[in-house]
């Protein structure tokens, strides 16, 4: 039905166009006729020109008027373009700038093009350097206990999972809710390992019941080992149960040690280095003193937009986040092989090939 309606609509518009063109042509002919008739009688009664000569004027003068109008309509545009192409450059060469006939104008344009390219390359270099500097500071911050404790439970899972990726594990994160006792399924050296993460307070303790859920998941998944990461305290029964069932216990001290292995960063976290967008010189800013603006040795103003307080360890996981909702992607085995799916499923169904 839509196809038929569109055909009839097209036919209707075509008929309207034909009527408009016919009306315009008919009106033009009538106008020319009466103008010519007026000229013929004017030439006969005022100038004494006979009818035969007036008939010639009847056709010639309107055509002459039309010719002059068409010449003006099309010729003025051409004349304008011709003037623009042949205008004198600042060095007195006609068409020198537009037609590249002036060597000086050509050199100036090439210099401007090179300068624009230099600025674009320098901006790109400065932005890349800034991103690397932020990542460097995030690697330092992820090794600090207060930064780990400031994370939300889901962010904590993401950061720990990314840490194990850096430690040569293949990590498949499970959904944040209904994870059935495991936050991630990991593989290394052909062994299957389950990971459970709890971001508890420093005085909160974890005992045997939480470990039983992880062990049940290990049996269900046929995993050889379990890893329980906890920022709180492990009770004595937890250590005993973990030793009996091949579950490795990772407390805050051990976690910070693993973070240092995954992100070996010994540089200074008090200062940030930025590149001047105009000359490319590196300028150091003190983050502890909140330095906002400095000048490079050439006098250019360099602005610092990096705040150490705003840098989060989650920046280290941003390369594997869902572009739709921002949640973490997890590696899933499907019928046609592995793919990345959003941990926000079913609310978000984003996927891409692994």
- Looking at the fold, whether 258 and 346 belong to one and the same domain comes out as no
70 against 163, higher pLDDT: 163
Q: Is there a domain that residue 119 lies in?
A: no
Mean pLDDT, the chain, integer = 79
Strand partners, 283: 274
pLDDT category of residue 248 using cuts at 50, 70 and 90 = very high
Range ranked top by mean pLDDT from 83-92, 97-106, 254-263? 254-263
- Residue 273 CA to residue 132 CA, distance in Å, equals 10
- Looking at the fold, whether 151 and 223 belong to one and the same domain comes out as yes
For residues 101 and 95, the answer to whether their CB atoms sit within 8 Å is yes
Q: Which helix (H) or strand (E) holds 352?
A: strand 351-353
Q: Is there a domain that residue 327 lies in?
A: yes
- Looking at the fold, whether 150 and 249 belong to one and the same domain comes out as yes
pLDDT category of residue 352 using cuts at 50, 70 and 90 = confident
Q: Is there a domain that residue 288 lies in?
A: no
In this prediction, residues 90-109 reach a mean pLDDT of 82
Look at residues 243, 262, 281 and tell me which one is the last residue of a structural domain: 262
pLDDT of residue 28: 63
- Is the confidence at residue 321, as pLDDT, over 70? no
- Paired tokens of 159: 């950061």
- Paired tokens of 322: 């869902």
pLDDT tens-digit map of 259-274: 999 998 777 778 888 9
Q: Is there a domain that residue 241 lies in?
A: yes
- Residue 296 CA to residue 294 CA, distance in Å, equals 7
Look at residues 214, 245, 262 and tell me which one is the last residue of a structural domain: 262
- Is the confidence at residue 169, as pLDDT, over 70? yes
Task: Output the DSSP codes for 287-307.
Answer: TTTT--EEE-TTS-EEE----
Q: Is there a domain that residue 169 lies in?
A: yes
Sequence-distant (≥ 6) Cβ neighbours of residue 304 within 8 angstroms: 272, 274, 285, 291, 292, 293, 294
- Looking at the fold, whether 166 and 253 belong to one and the same domain comes out as yes
Number of domains in the chain: 2
Look at residues 245, 262, 279 and tell me which one is the last residue of a structural domain: 262
pLDDT category of residue 224 using cuts at 50, 70 and 90 = very high
- Looking at the fold, whether 245 and 327 belong to one and the same domain comes out as no
For 236, the domain range is 144-262
The CATH code of the domain that includes 172 is: 3.40.1350.10
pLDDT tens-digit map of 132-163: 888 888 888 899 999 999 998 888 998 999 99
pLDDT category of residue 164 using cuts at 50, 70 and 90 = very high
Sequence-distant (≥ 6) Cβ neighbours of residue 164 within 8 angstroms: 171, 184, 186, 195, 262
- Is the confidence at residue 319, as pLDDT, over 80? no
Least Cα distance to 259 among 353, 104, 140 occurs for: 140
pLDDT of residue 281: 92
For residues 252 and 145, the answer to whether their CB atoms sit within 8 Å is yes
- Looking at the fold, whether 177 and 249 belong to one and the same domain comes out as yes
**Alpha carbons within 13 A on the beta-carbon side of 336:** 5
Q: Is there a domain that residue 242 lies in?
A: yes
- Looking at the fold, whether 258 and 176 belong to one and the same domain comes out as yes
> What's the first-to-final CA gap in the chain, in angstroms?
43
Q: Is there a domain that residue 125 lies in?
A: no
pLDDT of residue 2: 43
For residues 84 and 74, the answer to whether their CB atoms sit within 8 Å is no
Q: Is there a domain that residue 171 lies in?
A: yes
């Amino acid at each position: 039905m839509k196809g038929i309606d569109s055909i009839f609509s097209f036919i209707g518009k075509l008929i309207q166009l034909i009527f408009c063109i016919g009306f315009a042509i008919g009106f033009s002919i009538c106008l020319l006729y009466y103008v010519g008739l007026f000229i013929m009688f004017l030439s006969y009664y005022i100038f004494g020109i006979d009818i035969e000569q007036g008939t010639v004027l009847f056709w010639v003068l309107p055509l002459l008027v039309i010719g002059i109008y068409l010449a003006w309509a099309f010729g003025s545009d051409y004349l304008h373009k011709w003037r623009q192409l042949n205008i004198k450059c600042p060095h007195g060469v006609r068409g020198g700038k537009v037609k590249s006939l002036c060597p000086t104008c050509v050199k100036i344009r090439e210099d401007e093009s090179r300068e624009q390219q230099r600025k674009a390359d320098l901006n790109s270099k400065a932005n890349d350097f800034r991103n690397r500097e932020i990542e460097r500071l995030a690697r330092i911050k992820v090794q600090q206990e207060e930064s780990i404790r400031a994370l939300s439970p889901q962010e904590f899972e993401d950061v720990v999972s990314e840490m194990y990726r850096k430690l040569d594990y293949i990590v498949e994160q499970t959904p944040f809710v209904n994870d059935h006792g495991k936050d991630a399924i990991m593989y290394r050296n052909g062994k299957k390992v389950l990971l459970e993460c709890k971001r508890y307070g420093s005085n909160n303790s974890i005992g045997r019941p939480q470990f039983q859920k992880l062990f049940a998941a290990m049996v269900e998944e046929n995993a050889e080992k379990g890893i329980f990461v906890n920022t709180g305290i492990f009770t004595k029964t937890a250590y005993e149960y973990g030793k009996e069932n091949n579950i490795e216990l990772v407390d805050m001290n051990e976690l910070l040690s693993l973070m240092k292995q995954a992100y070996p960063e010994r540089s200074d976290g008090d200062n940030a280095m930025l590149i001047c967008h105009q000359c490319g010189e590196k300028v150091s800013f003190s983050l502890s003193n909140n330095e906002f603006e400095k000048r490079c040795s050439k006098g250019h103003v360099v602005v610092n937009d990096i705040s150490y307080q705003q840098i989060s360890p989650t920046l280290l996981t941003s390369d594997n986040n869902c572009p739709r909702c921002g949640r973490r992607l997890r590696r899933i085995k499907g019928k046609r092989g592995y793919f990345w799916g959003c941990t926000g499923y079913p609310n978000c169904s984003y996927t891409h090939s692994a």
